[in-house]
Structure 1
Amino acid sequence: MRRSLVPLLLCLVLSAGCTARTALPTPTLGPPAPDAGTLVRALADRSAEQYSVRFEAERTMSSRRVRQEGGLVRSRDARLVSLREDSVDVVVLADAGYSRSGGGGWTRLSRVDRVPIKSGAPVEAVADEVDPRSVVGSLRGSLLVQTGEETIDGTPTRRYTLLVDLRVQADQTADPMRRTQLMAAYESGFTATATVWVGPGDLPVRVEQTLKTLEDKTFQQTEHTFRDWNADIRVTAPTS
Protein backbone atom coordinates (compact mmCIF):
# COMPACT_ATOMS: atom_id res chain seq x y z
CA MET A 1 0.00 0.00 0.00
CA ARG A 2 2.85 2.37 0.86
CA ARG A 3 4.50 1.69 -2.50
CA SER A 4 1.32 2.67 -4.37
CA LEU A 5 1.11 5.96 -2.50
CA VAL A 6 4.57 7.14 -3.52
CA PRO A 7 3.89 7.42 -7.27
CA LEU A 8 0.53 8.98 -6.51
CA LEU A 9 2.05 11.63 -4.26
CA LEU A 10 4.82 12.23 -6.80
CA CYS A 11 2.24 12.78 -9.53
CA LEU A 12 0.32 15.20 -7.33
CA VAL A 13 3.48 17.19 -6.61
CA LEU A 14 4.48 17.29 -10.27
CA SER A 15 0.95 18.23 -11.26
CA ALA A 16 0.87 21.08 -8.76
CA GLY A 17 4.21 22.29 -10.03
CA CYS A 18 2.99 22.29 -13.62
CA THR A 19 -0.16 24.29 -12.86
CA ALA A 20 1.46 26.88 -10.59
CA ARG A 21 2.09 30.19 -12.38
CA THR A 22 5.27 32.14 -11.99
CA ALA A 23 4.60 35.70 -10.79
CA LEU A 24 5.29 38.46 -13.28
CA PRO A 25 8.35 40.57 -12.51
CA THR A 26 7.73 43.85 -10.74
CA PRO A 27 7.82 46.75 -13.22
CA THR A 28 10.97 48.79 -12.83
CA LEU A 29 11.94 52.29 -13.89
CA GLY A 30 14.47 52.93 -16.60
CA PRO A 31 17.63 54.95 -15.96
CA PRO A 32 17.14 58.71 -15.43
CA ALA A 33 17.38 60.94 -18.49
CA PRO A 34 20.50 63.16 -18.47
CA ASP A 35 18.83 66.19 -20.06
CA ALA A 36 15.50 67.51 -21.30
CA GLY A 37 16.19 66.77 -24.96
CA THR A 38 16.86 63.09 -24.28
CA LEU A 39 13.82 62.88 -22.01
CA VAL A 40 11.40 64.46 -24.50
CA ARG A 41 12.63 62.38 -27.45
CA ALA A 42 12.42 59.12 -25.52
CA LEU A 43 8.92 59.82 -24.18
CA ALA A 44 7.61 60.96 -27.56
CA ASP A 45 9.02 57.87 -29.31
CA ARG A 46 7.75 55.43 -26.69
CA SER A 47 4.30 57.03 -26.67
CA ALA A 48 4.05 56.83 -30.46
CA GLU A 49 4.80 53.10 -30.34
CA GLN A 50 1.68 52.38 -28.26
CA TYR A 51 -1.63 51.49 -29.88
CA SER A 52 -3.97 53.31 -27.51
CA VAL A 53 -4.23 55.20 -24.22
CA ARG A 54 -6.87 56.70 -21.94
CA PHE A 55 -6.39 60.31 -20.92
CA GLU A 56 -7.69 62.94 -18.54
CA ALA A 57 -6.91 66.62 -18.94
CA GLU A 58 -7.66 69.58 -16.72
CA ARG A 59 -6.97 73.24 -17.46
CA THR A 60 -7.40 76.01 -14.90
CA MET A 61 -7.25 79.68 -15.87
CA SER A 62 -8.58 82.66 -13.90
CA SER A 63 -10.37 80.28 -11.49
CA ARG A 64 -12.19 78.61 -14.40
CA ARG A 65 -11.61 74.88 -14.68
CA VAL A 66 -12.16 72.74 -17.76
CA ARG A 67 -11.92 68.94 -17.66
CA GLN A 68 -11.64 66.40 -20.46
CA GLU A 69 -11.54 62.63 -20.47
CA GLY A 70 -11.53 60.02 -23.17
CA GLY A 71 -9.40 57.69 -25.26
CA LEU A 72 -7.02 57.89 -28.20
CA VAL A 73 -6.30 55.16 -30.76
CA ARG A 74 -3.58 55.13 -33.40
CA SER A 75 -4.89 53.62 -36.62
CA ARG A 76 -2.82 53.01 -39.72
CA ASP A 77 -3.47 56.46 -41.18
CA ALA A 78 -4.80 58.65 -38.36
CA ARG A 79 -5.24 59.26 -34.66
CA LEU A 80 -8.79 58.60 -33.52
CA VAL A 81 -10.13 60.40 -30.46
CA SER A 82 -13.23 60.18 -28.32
CA LEU A 83 -13.55 62.75 -25.54
CA ARG A 84 -16.00 64.56 -23.29
CA GLU A 85 -15.56 68.13 -22.04
CA ASP A 86 -18.29 69.16 -19.62
CA SER A 87 -21.49 68.31 -21.55
CA VAL A 88 -19.84 68.26 -24.99
CA ASP A 89 -18.93 64.97 -26.68
CA VAL A 90 -16.41 64.89 -29.53
CA VAL A 91 -15.34 62.09 -31.87
CA VAL A 92 -12.45 62.54 -34.29
CA LEU A 93 -11.95 60.09 -37.15
CA ALA A 94 -9.55 60.00 -40.09
CA ASP A 95 -11.76 62.04 -42.43
CA ALA A 96 -14.13 64.00 -40.18
CA GLY A 97 -15.23 64.89 -36.69
CA TYR A 98 -18.52 64.76 -34.79
CA SER A 99 -19.81 66.75 -31.85
CA ARG A 100 -22.91 67.03 -29.71
CA SER A 101 -23.94 69.00 -26.64
CA GLY A 102 -26.07 67.87 -23.71
CA GLY A 103 -26.73 64.46 -25.19
CA GLY A 104 -28.46 65.89 -28.26
CA GLY A 105 -27.98 64.99 -31.90
CA TRP A 106 -24.55 64.67 -33.51
CA THR A 107 -23.18 67.26 -35.93
CA ARG A 108 -20.67 66.22 -38.58
CA LEU A 109 -17.62 68.48 -38.93
CA SER A 110 -14.91 68.70 -41.55
CA ARG A 111 -11.27 68.42 -40.56
CA VAL A 112 -10.85 72.22 -40.55
CA ASP A 113 -14.04 73.07 -38.63
CA ARG A 114 -13.65 74.33 -35.06
CA VAL A 115 -14.84 71.97 -32.33
CA PRO A 116 -17.25 73.46 -29.74
CA ILE A 117 -14.85 73.01 -26.81
CA LYS A 118 -13.14 75.72 -24.75
CA SER A 119 -9.88 75.66 -26.71
CA GLY A 120 -11.73 76.16 -30.01
CA ALA A 121 -9.31 73.82 -31.78
CA PRO A 122 -10.13 72.58 -35.28
CA VAL A 123 -10.96 68.90 -35.68
CA GLU A 124 -7.52 68.14 -37.11
CA ALA A 125 -5.80 69.61 -34.01
CA VAL A 126 -7.87 67.90 -31.29
CA ALA A 127 -5.54 64.89 -31.15
CA ASP A 128 -2.56 67.17 -30.49
CA GLU A 129 -4.23 68.43 -27.32
CA VAL A 130 -4.53 64.95 -25.76
CA ASP A 131 -1.96 62.74 -27.52
CA PRO A 132 0.86 62.02 -25.02
CA ARG A 133 3.37 62.23 -27.87
CA SER A 134 2.25 65.77 -28.69
CA VAL A 135 1.87 66.86 -25.07
CA VAL A 136 5.41 65.77 -24.23
CA GLY A 137 6.77 66.86 -27.61
CA SER A 138 5.63 70.44 -26.93
CA LEU A 139 8.34 70.60 -24.24
CA ARG A 140 11.19 70.51 -26.78
CA GLY A 141 13.76 73.20 -26.06
CA SER A 142 13.13 73.05 -22.30
CA LEU A 143 15.80 72.95 -19.63
CA LEU A 144 15.94 70.13 -17.06
CA VAL A 145 16.35 71.59 -13.56
CA GLN A 146 15.39 68.82 -11.14
CA THR A 147 14.96 65.05 -10.99
CA GLY A 148 13.43 62.87 -8.26
CA GLU A 149 11.33 59.78 -7.62
CA GLU A 150 7.68 59.61 -6.58
CA THR A 151 4.93 56.99 -6.36
CA ILE A 152 1.62 57.95 -8.02
CA ASP A 153 -1.43 55.75 -7.35
CA GLY A 154 0.89 52.87 -6.49
CA THR A 155 3.03 53.30 -9.60
CA PRO A 156 6.72 54.16 -9.18
CA THR A 157 7.76 57.14 -11.32
CA ARG A 158 10.65 59.44 -12.03
CA ARG A 159 9.74 63.10 -11.66
CA TYR A 160 11.37 65.70 -13.90
CA THR A 161 10.99 69.48 -13.52
CA LEU A 162 11.61 71.58 -16.64
CA LEU A 163 11.84 75.26 -17.54
CA VAL A 164 9.83 75.71 -20.76
CA ASP A 165 10.86 78.04 -23.57
CA LEU A 166 7.56 79.65 -24.64
CA ARG A 167 8.99 80.95 -27.91
CA VAL A 168 10.18 77.49 -28.98
CA GLN A 169 6.85 76.04 -27.90
CA ALA A 170 5.01 78.60 -30.02
CA ASP A 171 7.20 77.92 -33.07
CA GLN A 172 6.33 74.22 -33.06
CA THR A 173 2.58 74.69 -32.48
CA ALA A 174 0.46 73.93 -35.55
CA ASP A 175 -2.71 75.74 -34.42
CA PRO A 176 -2.40 79.48 -35.30
CA MET A 177 -4.64 80.54 -32.39
CA ARG A 178 -2.56 78.62 -29.86
CA ARG A 179 0.66 79.96 -31.40
CA THR A 180 -0.59 83.53 -31.02
CA GLN A 181 -1.47 82.93 -27.37
CA LEU A 182 1.97 81.51 -26.59
CA MET A 183 3.79 84.35 -28.34
CA ALA A 184 1.69 86.90 -26.47
CA ALA A 185 2.63 85.22 -23.18
CA TYR A 186 6.29 85.17 -24.18
CA GLU A 187 6.31 88.86 -25.17
CA SER A 188 4.54 89.77 -21.90
CA GLY A 189 7.35 88.20 -19.87
CA PHE A 190 5.41 85.15 -18.73
CA THR A 191 7.39 82.13 -17.54
CA ALA A 192 6.49 78.46 -17.89
CA THR A 193 7.50 75.32 -16.06
CA ALA A 194 6.53 71.68 -16.54
CA THR A 195 6.68 68.59 -14.36
CA VAL A 196 6.71 65.18 -16.03
CA TRP A 197 6.21 61.90 -14.19
CA VAL A 198 7.59 58.90 -16.09
CA GLY A 199 6.51 55.36 -15.19
CA PRO A 200 7.70 51.85 -16.10
CA GLY A 201 8.36 51.37 -19.79
CA ASP A 202 9.49 55.01 -20.08
CA LEU A 203 5.90 56.14 -20.62
CA PRO A 204 4.46 59.41 -19.30
CA VAL A 205 2.06 59.05 -16.37
CA ARG A 206 1.34 62.72 -15.75
CA VAL A 207 2.38 66.04 -17.31
CA GLU A 208 1.71 69.34 -15.52
CA GLN A 209 2.43 72.74 -17.06
CA THR A 210 2.23 76.07 -15.23
CA LEU A 211 2.23 79.52 -16.80
CA LYS A 212 3.05 82.49 -14.54
CA THR A 213 2.87 86.23 -15.06
CA LEU A 214 5.76 88.66 -14.76
CA GLU A 215 4.67 89.13 -11.12
CA ASP A 216 5.09 85.37 -10.52
CA LYS A 217 1.33 84.81 -10.22
CA THR A 218 -0.14 81.61 -11.69
CA PHE A 219 -2.06 82.47 -14.87
CA GLN A 220 -2.81 78.99 -16.19
CA GLN A 221 -2.25 75.38 -15.15
CA THR A 222 -2.72 72.32 -17.34
CA GLU A 223 -2.52 68.69 -16.26
CA HIS A 224 -2.62 65.58 -18.45
CA THR A 225 -2.86 62.08 -16.98
CA PHE A 226 -2.33 58.93 -19.06
CA ARG A 227 -3.26 55.33 -18.19
CA ASP A 228 -4.41 52.00 -19.65
CA TRP A 229 -1.82 51.94 -22.40
CA ASN A 230 -2.83 49.58 -25.26
CA ALA A 231 -6.28 49.01 -23.76
CA ASP A 232 -9.11 47.83 -26.03
CA ILE A 233 -10.47 51.29 -26.92
CA ARG A 234 -12.96 51.67 -29.76
CA VAL A 235 -13.51 54.98 -31.57
CA THR A 236 -16.22 54.80 -34.26
CA ALA A 237 -18.59 57.15 -36.03
CA PRO A 238 -21.73 57.96 -34.00
CA THR A 239 -24.85 56.18 -35.20
CA SER A 240 -27.44 58.65 -33.97
Structure 2
Amino acid sequence: MRRCLVLLLVGCLLAGCAERTSLPEPTLGPVATSGDELATALINRSVEQRSVRFTAEQTLQGRSTRVEGGLVRAPEGRFVSLSSPPVELVVLPGAAFSRSQGGGWTRHELGDPVPVVEVPVTEVADVVDPVMVVEALRSGLLMDSGDETVEGARTRRYSLQVDLRQQADRTEDAQQRAVLLSAYDRGFISTVVVWVGPGELPVRVEHVMKTLGGEVFESRTHHYSDWNADIRVTAPV
Protein backbone atom coordinates (compact mmCIF):
# COMPACT_ATOMS: atom_id res chain seq x y z
CA MET A 1 0.00 0.00 0.00
CA ARG A 2 2.79 2.38 0.91
CA ARG A 3 4.54 1.62 -2.39
CA CYS A 4 1.33 2.44 -4.30
CA LEU A 5 1.08 5.79 -2.52
CA VAL A 6 4.71 6.63 -3.34
CA LEU A 7 4.23 5.70 -7.00
CA LEU A 8 1.05 7.80 -7.13
CA LEU A 9 2.83 10.82 -5.63
CA VAL A 10 5.77 10.51 -8.04
CA GLY A 11 3.39 10.25 -10.98
CA CYS A 12 1.47 13.28 -9.82
CA LEU A 13 4.66 15.34 -9.47
CA LEU A 14 5.81 14.35 -12.97
CA ALA A 15 2.44 15.36 -14.35
CA GLY A 16 2.50 18.73 -12.59
CA CYS A 17 -0.30 17.87 -10.16
CA ALA A 18 1.58 19.38 -7.22
CA GLU A 19 1.51 22.93 -8.69
CA ARG A 20 -0.91 25.16 -6.82
CA THR A 21 -3.39 27.30 -8.69
CA SER A 22 -2.55 30.96 -8.13
CA LEU A 23 -5.10 33.08 -6.28
CA PRO A 24 -7.14 35.45 -8.43
CA GLU A 25 -6.18 39.12 -8.33
CA PRO A 26 -8.50 41.37 -6.29
CA THR A 27 -11.19 42.81 -8.50
CA LEU A 28 -12.12 46.46 -8.75
CA GLY A 29 -15.63 47.65 -8.04
CA PRO A 30 -18.12 48.91 -10.62
CA VAL A 31 -17.25 52.10 -12.51
CA ALA A 32 -18.74 55.22 -10.89
CA THR A 33 -20.73 57.50 -13.20
CA SER A 34 -20.67 60.73 -11.16
CA GLY A 35 -18.60 62.52 -8.54
CA ASP A 36 -21.33 62.16 -5.93
CA GLU A 37 -21.64 58.41 -6.53
CA LEU A 38 -17.86 58.01 -6.31
CA ALA A 39 -17.58 60.06 -3.11
CA THR A 40 -20.42 58.13 -1.46
CA ALA A 41 -18.83 54.76 -2.22
CA LEU A 42 -15.37 55.84 -0.97
CA ILE A 43 -16.72 57.45 2.19
CA ASN A 44 -18.92 54.50 3.10
CA ARG A 45 -16.08 52.01 2.69
CA SER A 46 -13.50 54.21 4.46
CA VAL A 47 -15.72 54.71 7.49
CA GLU A 48 -15.99 50.94 7.88
CA GLN A 49 -12.22 50.56 8.26
CA ARG A 50 -10.72 50.76 11.73
CA SER A 51 -7.37 52.23 10.71
CA VAL A 52 -5.18 53.35 7.84
CA ARG A 53 -1.65 54.61 7.23
CA PHE A 54 -1.18 57.82 5.26
CA THR A 55 1.27 60.28 3.78
CA ALA A 56 0.12 63.79 2.93
CA GLU A 57 2.03 66.36 0.89
CA GLN A 58 1.01 69.97 0.35
CA THR A 59 2.54 72.75 -1.71
CA LEU A 60 1.02 76.19 -1.18
CA GLN A 61 2.48 79.20 -2.97
CA GLY A 62 5.87 77.51 -3.20
CA ARG A 63 6.01 76.24 0.39
CA SER A 64 5.93 72.44 0.77
CA THR A 65 5.16 70.21 3.76
CA ARG A 66 4.99 66.43 4.10
CA VAL A 67 3.59 64.37 6.95
CA GLU A 68 3.14 60.65 7.46
CA GLY A 69 1.49 58.56 10.12
CA GLY A 70 -1.61 56.60 11.03
CA LEU A 71 -5.27 57.21 11.81
CA VAL A 72 -7.44 55.06 14.09
CA ARG A 73 -11.23 55.20 14.45
CA ALA A 74 -12.65 54.36 17.86
CA PRO A 75 -15.96 54.90 19.68
CA GLU A 76 -14.33 57.84 21.47
CA GLY A 77 -13.31 59.55 18.20
CA ARG A 78 -10.39 59.69 15.77
CA PHE A 79 -6.82 59.20 16.97
CA VAL A 80 -3.94 60.44 14.80
CA SER A 81 -0.18 60.01 15.03
CA LEU A 82 1.91 61.89 12.48
CA SER A 83 5.44 63.11 11.97
CA SER A 84 7.19 65.67 9.83
CA PRO A 85 10.80 65.55 10.99
CA PRO A 86 11.82 66.93 13.38
CA VAL A 87 8.24 67.36 14.67
CA GLU A 88 6.04 64.57 16.05
CA LEU A 89 2.35 65.03 16.77
CA VAL A 90 -0.20 62.88 18.61
CA VAL A 91 -3.86 63.89 18.37
CA LEU A 92 -6.50 62.46 20.72
CA PRO A 93 -10.22 63.30 20.92
CA GLY A 94 -9.60 65.66 23.85
CA ALA A 95 -6.16 67.17 23.22
CA ALA A 96 -2.95 66.94 21.21
CA PHE A 97 0.74 66.61 22.08
CA SER A 98 3.77 67.68 20.05
CA ARG A 99 7.52 67.59 20.40
CA SER A 100 10.50 68.55 18.30
CA GLN A 101 13.83 66.72 17.89
CA GLY A 102 12.89 64.14 20.51
CA GLY A 103 12.47 66.71 23.28
CA GLY A 104 9.71 67.01 25.85
CA TRP A 105 6.05 66.86 24.89
CA THR A 106 3.88 70.00 24.79
CA ARG A 107 0.13 69.68 25.35
CA HIS A 108 -2.28 71.55 23.05
CA GLU A 109 -5.93 72.14 23.91
CA LEU A 110 -8.76 71.72 21.40
CA GLY A 111 -8.73 75.28 20.06
CA ASP A 112 -4.95 75.61 19.85
CA PRO A 113 -3.20 75.49 16.45
CA VAL A 114 -0.61 72.74 16.23
CA PRO A 115 2.77 72.64 14.45
CA VAL A 116 3.24 71.46 10.85
CA VAL A 117 -0.40 71.33 9.75
CA GLU A 118 -1.12 74.69 11.40
CA VAL A 119 -4.80 74.06 12.17
CA PRO A 120 -6.63 73.73 15.51
CA VAL A 121 -6.49 70.37 17.28
CA THR A 122 -10.11 69.66 16.34
CA GLU A 123 -9.28 69.89 12.60
CA VAL A 124 -6.05 67.87 12.43
CA ALA A 125 -7.82 64.56 11.71
CA ASP A 126 -9.76 66.22 8.86
CA VAL A 127 -6.49 67.03 7.08
CA VAL A 128 -5.60 63.33 6.67
CA ASP A 129 -8.87 61.40 7.09
CA PRO A 130 -9.80 59.88 3.70
CA VAL A 131 -13.47 60.50 4.49
CA MET A 132 -12.85 64.25 4.49
CA VAL A 133 -10.25 64.23 1.72
CA VAL A 134 -12.65 62.71 -0.85
CA GLU A 135 -15.61 64.87 0.17
CA ALA A 136 -14.72 67.39 -2.56
CA LEU A 137 -15.56 64.74 -5.16
CA ARG A 138 -19.28 65.31 -4.47
CA SER A 139 -19.14 68.63 -6.33
CA GLY A 140 -16.89 67.28 -9.07
CA LEU A 141 -17.71 66.78 -12.73
CA LEU A 142 -16.37 63.39 -13.84
CA MET A 143 -14.08 63.96 -16.84
CA ASP A 144 -12.61 60.51 -17.49
CA SER A 145 -11.64 57.20 -15.89
CA GLY A 146 -9.43 54.22 -16.62
CA ASP A 147 -7.59 51.31 -15.01
CA GLU A 148 -4.04 51.99 -13.82
CA THR A 149 -1.41 50.36 -11.61
CA VAL A 150 -0.22 52.53 -8.71
CA GLU A 151 2.62 51.40 -6.45
CA GLY A 152 2.04 47.80 -7.54
CA ALA A 153 -1.71 47.89 -6.86
CA ARG A 154 -4.49 47.62 -9.45
CA THR A 155 -6.61 50.76 -9.32
CA ARG A 156 -9.19 52.69 -11.25
CA ARG A 157 -8.28 56.34 -11.86
CA TYR A 158 -10.95 59.06 -11.94
CA SER A 159 -10.32 62.67 -13.02
CA LEU A 160 -12.80 65.34 -11.95
CA GLN A 161 -13.19 69.09 -12.17
CA VAL A 162 -14.55 70.57 -8.95
CA ASP A 163 -17.11 73.36 -8.73
CA LEU A 164 -15.66 75.56 -5.99
CA ARG A 165 -18.97 77.30 -5.38
CA GLN A 166 -20.76 73.99 -4.78
CA GLN A 167 -17.90 72.80 -2.60
CA ALA A 168 -18.18 75.97 -0.51
CA ASP A 169 -21.92 75.43 -0.09
CA ARG A 170 -21.21 71.92 1.25
CA THR A 171 -18.50 73.11 3.68
CA GLU A 172 -19.57 73.68 7.29
CA ASP A 173 -16.36 75.40 8.43
CA ALA A 174 -16.87 79.16 7.95
CA GLN A 175 -13.18 79.93 7.40
CA GLN A 176 -12.74 77.19 4.80
CA ARG A 177 -15.95 78.24 3.09
CA ALA A 178 -14.66 81.82 2.82
CA VAL A 179 -11.41 80.56 1.25
CA LEU A 180 -13.30 78.52 -1.34
CA LEU A 181 -15.63 81.39 -2.22
CA SER A 182 -12.65 83.73 -2.59
CA ALA A 183 -10.97 81.24 -4.94
CA TYR A 184 -14.21 80.92 -6.91
CA ASP A 185 -14.56 84.70 -7.26
CA ARG A 186 -10.96 84.95 -8.50
CA GLY A 187 -11.60 82.37 -11.20
CA PHE A 188 -9.47 79.57 -9.75
CA ILE A 189 -9.87 76.09 -11.25
CA SER A 190 -9.84 73.01 -9.00
CA THR A 191 -9.28 69.44 -10.16
CA VAL A 192 -9.12 66.12 -8.31
CA VAL A 193 -7.63 62.82 -9.46
CA VAL A 194 -8.35 59.77 -7.30
CA TRP A 195 -7.04 56.23 -7.66
CA VAL A 196 -9.45 53.64 -6.20
CA GLY A 197 -8.28 50.16 -5.29
CA PRO A 198 -10.17 46.90 -4.64
CA GLY A 199 -12.86 47.24 -2.01
CA GLU A 200 -13.69 50.81 -3.10
CA LEU A 201 -10.88 52.25 -0.97
CA PRO A 202 -8.77 55.24 -2.06
CA VAL A 203 -5.10 54.57 -2.79
CA ARG A 204 -4.08 58.08 -3.83
CA VAL A 205 -5.89 61.42 -4.06
CA GLU A 206 -4.46 64.52 -5.77
CA HIS A 207 -6.05 67.97 -5.45
CA VAL A 208 -4.73 70.82 -7.62
CA MET A 209 -5.93 74.43 -7.62
CA LYS A 210 -4.78 76.68 -10.45
CA THR A 211 -5.12 80.38 -11.10
CA LEU A 212 -7.04 81.72 -14.09
CA GLY A 213 -3.66 81.93 -15.86
CA GLY A 214 -2.98 78.22 -15.31
CA GLU A 215 -0.37 78.54 -12.54
CA VAL A 216 -0.56 76.03 -9.68
CA PHE A 217 -1.62 77.88 -6.52
CA GLU A 218 -1.99 74.82 -4.27
CA SER A 219 -1.52 71.07 -4.63
CA ARG A 220 -2.27 68.31 -2.11
CA THR A 221 -1.53 64.60 -2.45
CA HIS A 222 -2.68 61.88 -0.04
CA HIS A 223 -1.51 58.25 -0.13
CA TYR A 224 -3.37 55.53 1.81
CA SER A 225 -2.23 51.99 2.63
CA ASP A 226 -2.37 49.22 5.26
CA TRP A 227 -6.09 49.49 5.90
CA ASN A 228 -7.01 47.91 9.26
CA ALA A 229 -3.36 47.59 10.25
CA ASP A 230 -2.48 47.27 13.94
CA ILE A 231 -1.90 50.98 14.56
CA ARG A 232 -1.64 52.23 18.14
CA VAL A 233 -2.07 55.91 19.07
CA THR A 234 -1.66 56.67 22.78
CA ALA A 235 -1.03 59.76 24.89
CA PRO A 236 2.68 60.42 25.57
CA VAL A 237 3.82 59.68 29.12
Name the TM-score, length of structure 2 as normaliser. 0.89
Separation in structure 2 between the aligned mates of residue 166 and residue 225 of structure 1, nearest angstrom: 23
> Are the counterparts in 2 of residues 125 and 175 from structure 1 also a CA contact under 8 Å?
no
Within the candidate set 200, 203, 213, 1:202 is matched to 200
Q: Give the gaps of 5 or more residues in structure 1.
A: none
**Equivalent residue, structure 2, for 1:128:** 126
Letter in 2 for 1:227: S
The letter of the residue matching 1:200 is P
User: Which runs of no fewer than 5 residues in structure 2 stay unpaired?
Assistant: 13-17
What is the alpha-carbon distance in structure 2 between the residues aligned to residue 68 and residue 167 of structure 1?
29
Alignment CA distance shift 1:12-1:164 (3 Å): same
Runs of 4 or more above 4 Å deviation: 7-14, 19-23
Distance 1:192 1:53 in 2: 26
Q: Is the 8 A contact 1:66 1:86 kept in 2?
A: no
Q: CA deviation at 1:228?
A: 0.6
Deviation for aligned residue 1:208: 0.3
The code of the aligned residue for 2:125 comes to A
CA positional deviation for 1:66: 0.7
Give the Å deviation of 1:160. 0.4
1:67–1:86: 8 Å Cα contact kept in structure 2? Answer: no
| Aligned residue number for residue 41 of structure 1 | 40
- How far 1:180 sits from its partner (Å)? 2.6
Alpha-carbon contact 2:32-2:38 (below 8 Å) kept: yes
CA RMSD of aligned residues (A): 2.2
User: Where does residue 219 of structure 2 map in the other structure?
Assistant: 221
TM-score, normalising length: structure 1? 0.88
* Deviation readout 1:96-134 (Å, 9 max, x if unpaired): 11112232211112222211224x211111111100111
Letter in 1 for 2:128: V
Identical pairs, percent: 53
| Structure 2 residue identity aligned to 1:199 | G
1:47, CA displacement in angstroms?
0.6
Letter in 1 for 2:76: D
1:235 alignment counterpart: 233
Work out the CA distance in 2 between the residues paired with 1:220 and 1:189. Answer: 14
CA distance in 1 between partners of 2:63 and 2:201 (Å):
30
Deviation string for 1:21-55 (max 9, x for gaps)? Answer: 87543111112111111101000100111010000
Alpha-carbon offset, residue 193 of structure 1:
0.4
- Decide whether aligned partners of structure 1 residues 102 and 145 sit closer, same or farther in structure 2, where only a CA change above 3 A counts: same
> In the aligned structure 2, how far is the partner of 1:167 from the partner of 1:52?
32
The AA in structure 2 aligned to 1:128 is D
**How far is 1:77 from its partner?**
2.3
Counterpart AA for 1:83: L
Change (3 A) 1:157 1:5: same
